[in-house]
Structure 1
Amino acid sequence: MEDSVYVGRAGRDAALDRGWLLGHFKAPGDPRHSDAVEIKWGVHPRGERRARWVTGEVRTALLVLVSGRFRMEFPGREVLLAEQGDYVVWGRGVDHSWVAEEDSVVLTVRWPSVTGYVATAEAERADPHG
């Protein structure tokens, strides 16, 4: 039973893997391994902006504001998340970008967890939201 239970702290664990807490990229046998879903704890300083737009998205995503003020950008539309618990959902094929208007923490859930679909290390540094 102990091998199938993982107890962690999002802020600490997220720092070890570009923010990701759960997904296909965790080692098989790790309770955080999943082909169905990915979960990320994103910590973004004020002014941080995604380096480039995500295009050709093949997953559905949910982003929830934990703290701060965070703006999601979509073609022809912007969504401002300003109160704790504000969230936005977007589907496959929806291009997007973002900017942290204040120091922000966001929780992102994406599905499915697509093997081989990963941003480059350089893009991850500029885009810790992946």
Structure 2
Amino acid sequence: MLRHPFVPLLSLACLLAAGCAGTRAQPPGARAPDAPHPGTIALHHAWNGSTQTLRAQDFPASFTFRCIDARGEPAERARAAWCVPVVEIESVSVDAAGHAVAPADAVQIDSTAYGPGHRFLDHTRLMRDGRPPV
């Protein structure tokens, strides 16, 4: 039988590569689920160009983090394999005619959440029927 000193190392490398092939890579900005939030979230309002600074501690973890479990599925922070903190939100609020208005007057609000380094996390849309209540 032909023995070569690199065969065991090659076999180990193949096993490790195969085992890691099914593991989802953490995106940039991901951290341990129990790691603290950087502290603030910049909320950019498109209707007037302003930026509001929100304290992350004033909101639930479901708002301030996007977490994923070991299978790559969205998860609560307590069951997550890793989380990405939300550090920036872009909000676009419009009236029924599609004109930019304050969120209180909007019939549609689009919000895009970003992690560190302006990394896209998710996008949500809130729709209201007719004119919002005063």
- TM-score computed with the length of structure 1 as normaliser: 0.24
The structure carrying a bigger helix percent of its residues is 2
> Which of structures 1 and 2 has the bigger CA Rg?
2
State TM-score, norm by structure 2: 0.24
Which structure has more relative contact order (CA 8 Å, sep 6+)? It is 1
